[in-house]
Amino acid sequence: MIVPGTGTRPCWLIPVQIDSVKMMGHAEAMAKKPHHHGNLREALIHAGLKLLAEGGLDALTLRKCAERAGVSHAAPAHHFSGLLGLKVAIVAWGFRTFADTMRAAQSKANSDPRSQLRAICQGYIEFSETHRAIFELMFSPLKKAGNLVDDASAAELRESSRDAYQVLHDACQAFAHGPGGELATETMIWSLVHGYSTLFTDWGAHSGPSGEVADFDDILAQLNLQVAV
Protein backbone atom coordinates (compact mmCIF):
# COMPACT_ATOMS: atom_id res chain seq x y z
CA MET A 1 0.00 0.00 0.00
CA ILE A 2 1.15 3.58 -0.60
CA VAL A 3 2.39 5.49 2.40
CA PRO A 4 1.48 9.20 2.30
CA GLY A 5 4.48 11.41 1.75
CA THR A 6 6.78 8.65 0.53
CA GLY A 7 6.10 8.81 -3.21
CA THR A 8 4.71 5.89 -5.19
CA ARG A 9 6.84 3.07 -3.85
CA PRO A 10 4.65 0.64 -1.88
CA CYS A 11 5.45 0.07 1.74
CA TRP A 12 4.27 -2.71 4.02
CA LEU A 13 2.47 -0.82 6.78
CA ILE A 14 -0.37 -1.66 9.04
CA PRO A 15 -2.01 -1.46 12.43
CA VAL A 16 -4.99 -1.07 14.13
CA GLN A 17 -6.94 -0.90 17.31
CA ILE A 18 -6.40 1.02 20.51
CA ASP A 19 -6.89 -0.02 24.09
CA SER A 20 -6.78 1.85 27.39
CA VAL A 21 -4.03 1.37 29.91
CA LYS A 22 -5.56 0.07 33.13
CA MET A 23 -4.17 0.92 36.54
CA MET A 24 -3.37 -1.88 38.94
CA GLY A 25 -5.42 -1.89 42.08
CA HIS A 26 -2.87 -3.39 44.48
CA ALA A 27 0.51 -1.67 44.24
CA GLU A 28 1.95 -3.69 47.08
CA ALA A 29 1.65 -6.87 45.01
CA MET A 30 3.99 -5.42 42.43
CA ALA A 31 6.77 -4.93 44.95
CA LYS A 32 7.46 -8.65 44.71
CA LYS A 33 7.78 -8.58 40.93
CA PRO A 34 11.02 -7.87 39.04
CA HIS A 35 11.42 -4.45 37.47
CA HIS A 36 12.98 -3.64 34.11
CA HIS A 37 14.85 -0.35 34.06
CA GLY A 38 16.15 1.01 30.75
CA ASN A 39 15.02 -2.15 29.00
CA LEU A 40 11.30 -2.04 29.78
CA ARG A 41 10.23 -1.15 26.25
CA GLU A 42 12.03 -4.17 24.79
CA ALA A 43 10.73 -6.38 27.61
CA LEU A 44 7.15 -5.37 26.80
CA ILE A 45 7.65 -5.96 23.08
CA HIS A 46 9.04 -9.44 23.70
CA ALA A 47 6.22 -10.16 26.13
CA GLY A 48 3.80 -9.20 23.37
CA LEU A 49 5.60 -11.44 20.89
CA LYS A 50 5.29 -14.40 23.26
CA LEU A 51 1.60 -13.73 23.85
CA LEU A 52 1.00 -13.59 20.09
CA ALA A 53 2.85 -16.86 19.57
CA GLU A 54 0.90 -18.56 22.34
CA GLY A 55 -2.62 -17.26 21.77
CA GLY A 56 -2.81 -15.16 18.62
CA LEU A 57 -4.12 -11.60 18.35
CA ASP A 58 -6.83 -12.09 20.95
CA ALA A 59 -4.19 -12.81 23.59
CA LEU A 60 -2.39 -9.49 23.10
CA THR A 61 -3.36 -6.92 25.76
CA LEU A 62 -1.40 -4.29 27.65
CA ARG A 63 -2.36 -5.85 30.96
CA LYS A 64 -1.04 -9.27 29.96
CA CYS A 65 2.17 -7.76 28.57
CA ALA A 66 2.76 -5.88 31.82
CA GLU A 67 2.14 -9.03 33.86
CA ARG A 68 4.48 -11.04 31.64
CA ALA A 69 7.18 -8.36 31.95
CA GLY A 70 6.70 -8.19 35.72
CA VAL A 71 5.68 -4.53 35.99
CA SER A 72 2.58 -2.59 36.98
CA HIS A 73 -0.32 -2.34 34.56
CA ALA A 74 0.36 1.39 34.30
CA ALA A 75 4.01 0.96 33.25
CA PRO A 76 3.43 0.47 29.48
CA ALA A 77 1.96 3.97 29.26
CA HIS A 78 5.48 5.36 29.70
CA HIS A 79 6.56 3.72 26.44
CA PHE A 80 3.49 3.14 24.25
CA SER A 81 0.39 5.12 23.32
CA GLY A 82 -2.01 2.38 24.33
CA LEU A 83 -2.32 -1.03 22.73
CA LEU A 84 -1.99 0.56 19.30
CA GLY A 85 1.49 1.82 20.17
CA LEU A 86 2.56 -1.62 21.34
CA LYS A 87 1.21 -3.20 18.16
CA VAL A 88 3.16 -0.71 16.06
CA ALA A 89 6.37 -1.64 17.91
CA ILE A 90 5.66 -5.37 17.48
CA VAL A 91 4.94 -4.92 13.77
CA ALA A 92 8.18 -2.94 13.34
CA TRP A 93 10.03 -5.88 14.96
CA GLY A 94 8.15 -8.18 12.59
CA PHE A 95 9.23 -6.32 9.48
CA ARG A 96 12.87 -6.23 10.61
CA THR A 97 12.80 -9.98 11.19
CA PHE A 98 10.91 -10.47 7.92
CA ALA A 99 13.65 -8.64 5.98
CA ASP A 100 16.37 -10.57 7.83
CA THR A 101 14.69 -13.89 6.98
CA MET A 102 14.49 -13.07 3.27
CA ARG A 103 18.10 -11.83 3.19
CA ALA A 104 19.30 -14.95 5.02
CA ALA A 105 17.63 -17.11 2.38
CA GLN A 106 19.23 -14.99 -0.34
CA SER A 107 22.69 -15.41 1.14
CA LYS A 108 22.44 -19.20 0.77
CA ALA A 109 21.27 -19.13 -2.85
CA ASN A 110 23.17 -18.93 -6.12
CA SER A 111 23.86 -15.41 -7.32
CA ASP A 112 21.85 -15.57 -10.57
CA PRO A 113 18.65 -13.45 -10.58
CA ARG A 114 16.17 -16.33 -10.71
CA SER A 115 17.80 -18.12 -7.76
CA GLN A 116 17.87 -14.89 -5.78
CA LEU A 117 14.17 -14.22 -6.43
CA ARG A 118 13.21 -17.80 -5.52
CA ALA A 119 15.21 -17.45 -2.32
CA ILE A 120 13.52 -14.30 -1.09
CA CYS A 121 10.13 -15.83 -1.86
CA GLN A 122 11.05 -18.91 0.17
CA GLY A 123 12.17 -16.60 2.98
CA TYR A 124 8.81 -14.84 2.76
CA ILE A 125 6.96 -18.16 3.04
CA GLU A 126 9.24 -19.33 5.86
CA PHE A 127 8.51 -16.20 7.88
CA SER A 128 4.76 -16.61 7.41
CA GLU A 129 5.00 -20.17 8.74
CA THR A 130 7.33 -19.41 11.64
CA HIS A 131 5.67 -16.20 12.85
CA ARG A 132 2.03 -16.80 12.00
CA ALA A 133 0.32 -14.38 14.37
CA ILE A 134 2.84 -11.60 13.74
CA PHE A 135 2.47 -12.10 9.98
CA GLU A 136 -1.29 -11.74 10.36
CA LEU A 137 -0.87 -8.55 12.40
CA MET A 138 1.63 -7.10 9.93
CA PHE A 139 -0.82 -7.44 7.07
CA SER A 140 -4.04 -6.60 8.90
CA PRO A 141 -6.34 -4.01 7.30
CA LEU A 142 -4.96 -0.55 7.87
CA LYS A 143 -7.13 1.71 9.98
CA LYS A 144 -6.53 5.40 10.62
CA ALA A 145 -4.46 5.90 13.72
CA GLY A 146 -4.53 9.69 13.57
CA ASN A 147 -2.03 11.07 16.07
CA LEU A 148 -2.46 8.19 18.51
CA VAL A 149 1.03 6.83 17.88
CA ASP A 150 4.14 8.80 18.78
CA ASP A 151 6.31 10.03 15.93
CA ALA A 152 9.26 7.80 16.88
CA SER A 153 7.20 4.59 16.74
CA ALA A 154 5.55 5.61 13.49
CA ALA A 155 8.96 6.39 11.96
CA GLU A 156 10.32 3.04 13.16
CA LEU A 157 7.47 1.23 11.45
CA ARG A 158 7.88 3.17 8.20
CA GLU A 159 11.61 2.45 8.12
CA SER A 160 11.33 -1.27 8.87
CA SER A 161 8.45 -1.86 6.43
CA ARG A 162 10.23 0.08 3.69
CA ASP A 163 13.40 -1.94 4.28
CA ALA A 164 11.47 -5.20 3.96
CA TYR A 165 9.87 -4.09 0.70
CA GLN A 166 13.28 -3.04 -0.60
CA VAL A 167 14.37 -6.70 -0.54
CA LEU A 168 11.62 -7.55 -3.03
CA HIS A 169 12.26 -4.42 -5.08
CA ASP A 170 15.97 -5.18 -5.45
CA ALA A 171 15.36 -8.81 -6.43
CA CYS A 172 12.99 -7.75 -9.22
CA GLN A 173 15.37 -5.19 -10.75
CA ALA A 174 17.27 -7.79 -12.76
CA PHE A 175 14.24 -8.76 -14.84
CA ALA A 176 12.79 -7.23 -17.99
CA HIS A 177 9.58 -5.37 -17.20
CA GLY A 178 6.40 -5.26 -19.24
CA PRO A 179 4.31 -2.18 -20.10
CA GLY A 180 3.47 -1.66 -16.42
CA GLY A 181 7.12 -1.16 -15.55
CA GLU A 182 9.03 -2.34 -12.50
CA LEU A 183 6.18 -1.60 -10.09
CA ALA A 184 3.93 -4.02 -11.99
CA THR A 185 6.61 -6.73 -11.81
CA GLU A 186 7.08 -6.20 -8.07
CA THR A 187 3.34 -6.22 -7.46
CA MET A 188 2.92 -9.42 -9.46
CA ILE A 189 5.62 -11.23 -7.44
CA TRP A 190 4.37 -9.83 -4.13
CA SER A 191 0.77 -10.84 -4.90
CA LEU A 192 1.87 -14.33 -5.85
CA VAL A 193 4.05 -15.05 -2.83
CA HIS A 194 1.71 -13.38 -0.35
CA GLY A 195 -1.28 -15.25 -1.72
CA TYR A 196 0.62 -18.52 -1.50
CA SER A 197 1.71 -17.76 2.06
CA THR A 198 -1.87 -16.96 3.05
CA LEU A 199 -3.55 -19.91 1.36
CA PHE A 200 -1.09 -22.76 1.49
CA THR A 201 1.14 -22.45 4.54
CA ASP A 202 0.30 -24.43 7.66
CA TRP A 203 -1.85 -21.65 9.06
CA GLY A 204 -3.83 -21.38 5.80
CA ALA A 205 -3.96 -25.11 5.16
CA HIS A 206 -6.07 -24.84 1.99
CA SER A 207 -5.47 -27.14 -0.94
CA GLY A 208 -6.85 -27.76 -4.38
CA PRO A 209 -9.53 -30.34 -5.31
CA SER A 210 -6.92 -33.09 -5.38
CA GLY A 211 -5.81 -32.28 -1.84
CA GLU A 212 -2.35 -31.39 -3.10
CA VAL A 213 -0.52 -28.07 -3.32
CA ALA A 214 1.92 -27.16 -6.07
CA ASP A 215 5.43 -26.24 -5.01
CA PHE A 216 5.93 -22.48 -5.05
CA ASP A 217 9.08 -22.71 -7.18
CA ASP A 218 7.06 -24.49 -9.90
CA ILE A 219 4.46 -21.72 -9.83
CA LEU A 220 7.09 -18.98 -9.98
CA ALA A 221 8.77 -20.67 -12.95
CA GLN A 222 5.54 -20.44 -14.94
CA LEU A 223 5.81 -16.65 -14.96
CA ASN A 224 8.74 -17.12 -17.33
CA LEU A 225 10.50 -13.98 -16.15
CA GLN A 226 13.27 -12.88 -18.47
CA VAL A 227 16.53 -11.47 -17.19
CA ALA A 228 17.10 -7.97 -18.55
CA VAL A 229 19.88 -7.64 -21.09
> What is the residue extent of each domain of the chain?
81-221
pLDDT at residue 29, rounded to an integer: 35
- DSSP letters, 82-147, are HHHHHHHHHHHHHHHHHHHHHHHHHHTS-SSHHHHHHHHHHHHHHHHHHSHHHHHHHTSPP---TT
Domain at 81-221, CATH from 1.10.357.10, 3.40.50.1970, 2.60.120.280, 3.30.1050.10: 1.10.357.10
pLDDT at residue 203, rounded to an integer: 53
From first to last of the 229 residues of the chain, give the pLDDT tens digit: 333 334 445 565 543 332 322 222 333 333 344 454 568 888 888 999 999 989 888 898 888 988 888 888 777 777 777 888 888 889 999 999 999 999 999 999 999 999 999 999 999 999 999 998 999 889 886 445 545 677 777 888 899 999 999 999 999 999 999 999 999 999 999 999 999 999 887 655 555 666 678 899 999 999 999 999 8
pLDDT at residue 204, rounded to an integer: 52
CA trace torsion 144, 148, 152, 156 (10° rounding): -30
